[in-house]
A and B are shown apart, each in its own frame.
Chain A
Amino acid sequence: MTDKELMRMANRLRLDVVETVHTAGDGHPGPCMSVADLIAVLYFDEMKIDPANPGWQERDRFILSKGHACPILYAALARRGYFEPEELKKLRSLEGMLQGHPDMQKTPGIDSVSGSLGNGVAIGLGMALGLRMQKVESYVYVAVGDGEMDEGVVWEAAMAAPQQKAGNLIVFGDCNNEQSGGRCTELTSLYPVADKWESFHWHVQTIDGHDIGQIKEAIRRAKGVKDCPSFIEMKTIKGKNIPYMEDNNAWHKKTPTAEEVEIARRALEGRI
């Protein structure tokens, strides 16, 4: 896809999230918006995947470590053809397969359970090593939230991955400087983030996480580094492109009303 098409797809997924969470009456819309562009690039351009064969061993893997943002991932999987978009309406319901947080057994296309924060980097490292042991030349992508980086296990994995020379592991930091209780920098700040990963000997880049071209280019560079895992710090805005959600942490977990769905639809008109 072209950058413009991917930008439109990201917005399409954003609107899917607003509608899905509205219908479900529950979910985390704000955190979806900051990773929307990354998800669009991964699922509609970058990743080697086959929706008809979700368990394909040669595929690239993706772990949404900040699993509460799963409505955006579900939207991408539905639009990519893993399941019918109708399924999105059953998010978080007993009748549906889309759990409140990702479940690799219930939902085709989900590569790992996630949602208990901090674990995606370590699980991704395990996948990267497992693929290497089996001589499968695929990549493992992980999206980790900046708030989530408070968790110690993130840094256990950050320590282990360069030692293992896991060049097939690419971690994106969704750095929107918000977490459940407020700004990361006001809770227990890990900022500046990039230098922490650098000091753990990762290949580190910092980009605008809402610039499709920059995301693509950063992945291309990360793939050029063969013997070292990559961390891509994406500077992002929570709630991006939904006017009332942008940088408004009240939307960390909140259900949009019908009127708010309409506002979102109008805001994205012409950009989808």
Chain B
Amino acid sequence: MKSTREAAMKAILEMAEQDSRIVVVSPDSMLAARAVPFKERFPERFVEVGIAEQDAVDIAAGLAATGMVPIVITYAGFLTMRACEMIRTFIAYPGLNVKLIGLNAGMLGGEREGVTHQFYEDVGILRSIAGVKILAPADGAQVYHAAKEMIKQEGPVYLRLASGREPVVYEEEEPFTYGRLRELKRYGTDAVIFASGYIMDRALEAAGQLHKEGIETILADVSTIKPIDREGVVRLLQETGGRAVTVEDHNIYGGLGSTVCEVACEESPAKVIRLGLKDQYARSGAAKELLDAYGLSVEDIVNAVKRVRES
């Protein structure tokens, strides 16, 4: 299953067959969300509101207040920034059972569209809102399982998707481990790489390359960013002598890097190098070239591990 967007919709469709409470709310995102099959199968449970994200989130709050399980799907930034207050005050504060799916998250999501359609702030924004769980799976197969987990979890959950053209790293049947990080590779304990999202293939390649050079790392997929697996993070920091690199397609402020640093500071002080967008805006470009140009190349990860190891 290659496309994260199709994977999410496949999971939603399957869950909706069993659960008549599931509703899809679309602020003109039906095509982007690959939701045409949902609309055709469940026309009475598909709510199109037009290009109006704030309205979509408020409507979802109302639907949830009557017992439905609405899923709002649209571009990550329009959802988490334009409708941020609606998420916070009308969904998270009363703890309503609304699911949020953000498309085009990261540079990988927006790529050629440019900065207006690339969103590297969504995790940071939502992480500061009490009561919102944040899932950032690594590929289409994981998204499929994560979307089902999202619906099973009670209360507000955000699922981070990108363009739909993300590299495959997992076997299809590999389950999504909610609330626990997963060791994707364990070459040794020279350093730990905490990675999240659709740059996992790069982190994997970097870990493999380092291994060939005799530098043995643990690669951990942190697919649940909130609540963070504190115990898992601390364990890996301690095993590796407190040498860590974080990798994410997000601003280095607010996302996985910040989360790991917070845990490290409080529980197991460590040297952490954060890779991600360094508090700047990217630009239009092909996905792979963009990641290379903005500090997320395999070489960047390799070099960061070498630097942290020397510290």
Chain A interfacial positions (CB closer than 8 Å to B): 57, 61, 103-105, 111-113, 116, 119, 122-131, 133-134, 136, 140, 152-153, 156-157, 159-160, 163-164
Contact = CB atoms under 8 A, between A and B. Distances in A.
B47 A127 contact: no
| Most chain B CB inside 10 Å of its own CB: which residue of A104, A111, A119, A124 | A119
Given A122-B55, A159-B52, A134 B62 contact: no
B21 to A, nearest CB: 9
B175 interface: no
A112 B63 CA distance: 11
Nearest to A114: B90
A129 B70 CA distance: 11
24 contacts: A57-B67, A104-B94, A112-B65, A113-B89, A113-B90, A119-B58, A119-B89, A122-B62, A123-B58, A125-B62, A126-B60, A126-B61, A126-B70, A129-B47, A129-B62, A130-B65, A130-B68, A134-B66, A153-B55, A153-B58, A156-B49, A159-B50, A159-B52, A163-B50
A112 B67 contact: no
A130 B66 contact: yes
B54 interface: yes
Contacts of B58: 119, 122-123, 125-126, 153, 157
A21 to B, nearest CB: 23
Contacts of A57: 66-67
Instruction: Determine the main DSSP class of A at the interface with B.
Output: helix
Given A125-B58, A126-B63, A129-B47, 9 more contacts: A103-B94, A104-B94, A113-B94, A119-B58, A122-B62, A123-B62, A130-B62, A136-B66, A160-B49
Interface string B49-84: 110101100111111111110100000000000000
A130 B94 CA distance: 17
B85 interface: yes
Given A156-B52, A157-B55, A159-B52, A113 B93 contact: yes
A84 B50 CA distance: 44
B44 interface: yes
B159 interface: no
B96 to A, nearest CB: 9
Contact of A134 (B47, B49, B67, B85): B67
A127 B62 contact: yes
Nearest to B62: A126
A103 B68 CA distance: 20
A102 to B, nearest CB: 10
B41 to A, nearest CB: 15
B118 to A, nearest CB: 24
A176 B21 CA distance: 39
B50 A112 contact: no
Contact of A156 (B48, B54, B68): B54
Interface of B: 23, 44-45, 47-50, 52, 54-55, 58-68, 70, 85-86, 89-90, 93-95
A200 B63 CA distance: 22
Contacts of B23: 130, 133
A104 B65 contact: yes
A116 B94 CA distance: 14
Nearest to A164: B47
B271 to A, nearest CB: 42
Contacts of A116: 85, 89-90
A126 B67 CA distance: 11
Contact of A123 (B52, B65, B85, B93): B65
A163 B48 CA distance: 9
Given A112-B62, A113-B89, A134 B68 contact: yes
A126 B65 contact: yes
| Most chain A CB inside 10 Å of its own CB: which residue of B23, B59, B94 | B59
Contacts of B86: 119, 153
Contacts of A152: 54
Nearest to A101: B89
A123 B58 CA distance: 5
A19 B195 CA distance: 58
| Most chain A CB inside 10 Å of its own CB: which residue of B55, B59, B62, B90 | B62
Nearest to A57: B67
A87 B307 CA distance: 62
| Most chain B CB inside 10 Å of its own CB: which residue of A116, A122, A127, A152 | A122
B236 to A, nearest CB: 37
A131 to B, nearest CB: 5
B54 A122 contact: yes
A75 B54 CA distance: 31
Contacts of A157: 55, 58-59
Contact of B63 (A61, A104, A129): A129
Contacts of A133: 23, 44-45, 63, 68
